[in-house]
Amino acid sequence: MYTFSNRLRLFAIISFVLGAIMVGLSFYYTPANVPEMKAMHAAHDAHGGHGSAAHADASHSDDKTSHHDAHENAHAADKSHGDKAHASDGGHHKSQADIDKHHLQQLQNKPWAAVYVAAFFFMMIALGVLAFYAIQRAAQAGWSPLLFRVMEGIGAYIIPGTIIIIALIVLSFPSLHLNHLFHWMDPELVKEGGEHYDKLTAGKSGWLNTTGFLVRAIIYSTIWIVYSILSRRFSVRQDNSNDNSNFKKNFRLAAVFLVLFLISESMMSWDWIMSFDHHWFSTLFGWYVFASMFVSGITVIALITIYLKSRGYLEYVNDSHLHDLAKFMFGISIFWTYLWFSQFMLIWYSNIPEEVTYFITRIDDYTLPFFGMLGLNLIFPLLILMNSDFKRLNWIIVIAGIVILFGHYLDVFNMVMPATVGAQWSLGLAEVGAILLFLGLFIFVVFTALTKAPLMAKRNPFIEESKHFHY
């Protein structure tokens, strides 16, 4: 049995509390109205501003660049919230008040979007692990049963993870007036004949409406949570049973789950990620999000396995198990890049205005995170994990794992931020705070779940093979 070490528990709690304080402060520092926003910017500029280029772009001085400013804003507004003007009556002129309001909304979205990105990132790790676990079960893999309890432990985070996402979705409902994360939720956009009527969004309201959105979110979450609970239950029961009926049940359950998972995951990616850019669509988006969660999940399995092994808990886990996990990290990193490039290149090549705005906003306003994540998610793992000997070294896997995880955090960041905060992004108080907040929660939930059952699945029919696995 694993006992949650006090130091790790303390680390998780400190991370959670520190993160909560940082996120709380970032909410506190968010301007409440336009005059306040302008006052904050004036104060900010007086301090000389930050060094970052993106920040300098986003900061606004009042007099000398006002023309440039307005142009920049209108440009950003046009890009991030689609072609509202084009859609309604063509050439709807934006007043300065409109621009300021838009700018304010982006700033107000910032802490919300930061929390959403981090919440989604950690939820997606748990979901990726569940998918990996189900595949191992359905494929009757002989090497991995020793790691099943680790995977089940990480999978347990799916319960708080999805509940937090659903809570964030409910908090985004326009009736609560808390944020403008999901712009399509704004009832003004679908009010026929209204000033802000948006034909494109109205046309999608059959799918993109708050009721359906919430109902679907609950359905996806239920599928994942039910699988995580049932598979865990059968797995633990198998330890003390006399036959393999629980193992067989888990096999069938995994097969059913994988079918439901692919459907629900794909639809989830339209709802929870793609709907931020509600004028844009991409057909391989579900796969793309899947690749991201899959590689992050496998990486976290490897990292937690290395941690537990170093604490002396996983007696039979050897270099070959790590080698296999590292091969998956390597292969799925390339798979992710393949999908990223397929999506990017097809849109870049055909350059259709209604699709290409998605990448133009990202390349213009998010140059470093957008291309930087390719370095983190492809080039670094490609070069470092290609060597067979390196895949057996703990420290190499830990370094590659941290780089991959940060890269995929940036990936989610790049998917969510451009449509919610536009050019106002930064990796500051809110973002780091949200990562710490959910990291603390994640570690706490996962390691608590690990203490609940022995770390080796005793009567698994493949456990002997797994113990003697070598490559």
| Contact residue for another protein among 251, 316, 348, 406 (CB under 8 A) | 348
Under rule CB under 8 A, residue 351 binds another protein: yes
Phi, psi torsion values for 25, nearest 5 degrees = -60, -40
Judged by CB under 8 A, the stretch of 1-9, 13-21, 309-317, 343-351 that binds another protein is 343-351
336/445 Cα distance (integer angstroms)? 28
Name the helix (H) or strand (E) containing 86. helix 84-88
Judged by CB under 8 A, the stretch of 133-141, 293-301, 347-355, 405-413 that binds another protein is 347-355
Which is closer to another protein, CB of 6 or CB of 350? 350
Which is closer to another protein, CB of 349 or CB of 395? 349
If 0-12 CB within 10 Å is exposed, 13-18 middle and 19+ buried, where does residue 51 land? exposed
Pick from 371, 145, 395: nearest CA to 254: 145
Q: From the CB of 351, what's the least distance to another protein, in Å?
A: 7
* 3-class secondary structure, 196: coil
Q: From the CB of 371, what's the least distance to another protein, in Å?
A: 11
- From residue 92, alpha-carbon distances to 185, 269, 355, 357 in Å are 21, 32, 21, 19
Which is closer to another protein, CB of 247 or CB of 344? 344
Tokens matching residue 245: 């009926």
Under rule CB under 8 A, residue 341 binds another protein: yes
Q: From the CB of 344, what's the least distance to another protein, in Å?
A: 7
Q: From the CB of 362, what's the least distance to another protein, in Å?
A: 14
Which is closer to another protein, CB of 29 or CB of 341? 341
| Contact residue for another protein among 220, 344, 447, 462 (CB under 8 A) | 344
Angle, helices 429-450 vs 148-155, to 10°: value is: 130
199/188 Cα distance (integer angstroms)? 11
Which is closer to another protein, CB of 345 or CB of 368? 345
CA quadruple 333, 335, 338, 344: dihedral sign: negative
| Contact residue for another protein among 218, 345, 352, 399 (CB under 8 A) | 345
Q: With beta carbons less than 8 A apart as the criterion, state whether 72 and 100 touch.
A: no
Which is closer to another protein, CB of 245 or CB of 351? 351
163/168 Cα distance (integer angstroms)? 9
Under rule CB under 8 A, residue 388 binds another protein: yes
108/85 Cα distance (integer angstroms)? 23
Which is closer to another protein, CB of 201 or CB of 361? 361
Phi, psi torsion values for 242, nearest 5 degrees = -100, -15
Judged by CB under 8 A, the stretch of 144-152, 292-300, 338-346, 427-435 that binds another protein is 338-346
Judged by CB under 8 A, the stretch of 102-110, 143-151, 210-218, 341-349 that binds another protein is 341-349
Judged by CB under 8 A, the stretch of 110-118, 204-212, 302-310, 345-353 that binds another protein is 345-353
| Contact residue for another protein among 93, 349, 353, 395 (CB under 8 A) | 349
Tokens matching residue 138: 């359905």
Residue 182 is given by DSSP the state: S
Which is closer to another protein, CB of 14 or CB of 386? 386
Under rule CB under 8 A, residue 386 binds another protein: yes
Count the site residues for another protein by CB under 8 A.
8
The string over 97-111, giving b where at least 16 C-beta atoms fall within 10 Å of a residue's C-beta and e elsewhere, is: eebbbbbbbbbbbbb
Judged by CB under 8 A, the stretch of 49-57, 102-110, 228-236, 339-347 that binds another protein is 339-347
Give contact residues for another protein (rule: CB under 8 A): 341, 344-345, 348-349, 351, 386, 388
